[in-house]
Chain A
Amino acid sequence: MPELNTSSLPDLIFSVLFFFMMVTSMREVTLKVQFTTPSGTEIEKLERKSLVSYIYIGSPTKEYRAQLGPASRIQLNDKFAEPTAIREFVKTERESMTSEKDKPFMKMSIKADVGTHMGIITDVKQELRKAQALNLVYSASLEKNAR
Chain B
Amino acid sequence: MGKSNRKVPGLNASSTADISFILLIFFLITTSMDTDTGLTRRLPEWDPNAEEQEVKIKERNIMTVQVNKNNEIFVKNGVINRVIEVEELKDIAKEFIDNPDDNPLLPMKEEYDVPGFRVVITTMKHVISLQTDRDTNYEVYFKVQNELSKAYNELRDVWCRQVLGKSWKLCNDDERAFAKAMYPSKISEAEPKTYGTAQ
Residue B9 at the chain A interface, CB threshold 8 Å: no
| A104-147 interface bits toward B, Cβ cutoff 8 Å, 1 = contact, 0 = none | 00010100111111110111011011101111111111100001
User: A44-B37, A122-B134 in contact; A129/B31 too (CB < 8 A)?
Assistant: no
> From A42, which residue of chain B is reached at the shortest CB distance?
B149
Per the bound structure, the CA–CA distance linking A113 and B42 in Å amounts to: 21
User: A138-B145, A140-B38, A142-B37 in contact; A118/B20 too (CB < 8 A)?
Assistant: no
Contact in complex: A113, B146 (CB < 8 Å): no
Residue A47 at the chain B interface, CB threshold 8 Å: yes
Q: Is the interface of B mostly helix, strand, loop or mixed?
A: mixed
| B127-162 interface bits toward A, Cβ cutoff 8 Å, 1 = contact, 0 = none | 000001111111101110110011001000000000
> Which residues in B have their C-beta under 8 angstroms from that of A37?
38
Residue B45 at the chain A interface, CB threshold 8 Å: yes
> From A108, which residue of chain B is reached at the shortest CB distance?
B43
Question: What size tier do the contact residues of chain B reach?
Answer: 35 or more
Residue A4 at the chain B interface, CB threshold 8 Å: no
Interface residue ranges, B against A (CB under 8 Å): 13, 16-17, 20-21, 23-24, 27-28, 30-33, 35-46, 67, 87, 132-139, 141-143, 145-146, 149-150, 153, 189, 192, 197
Query: Known pairs A38-B139, A42-B146, A137-B41. 19 more at Cβ < 8 A?
Result: A13-B24, A17-B23, A17-B24, A23-B31, A40-B145, A44-B40, A45-B35, A107-B40, A114-B137, A114-B138, A115-B139, A117-B136, A119-B135, A126-B192, A129-B46, A132-B46, A134-B42, A138-B145, A141-B37
| A-B CB contact pairs (8 Å), 24 listed | A10-B13, A10-B17, A20-B28, A20-B31, A37-B38, A40-B145, A40-B146, A42-B39, A43-B39, A46-B38, A47-B35, A107-B40, A117-B134, A117-B135, A118-B192, A122-B132, A122-B134, A122-B192, A125-B189, A135-B42, A136-B43, A137-B39, A140-B146, A142-B37
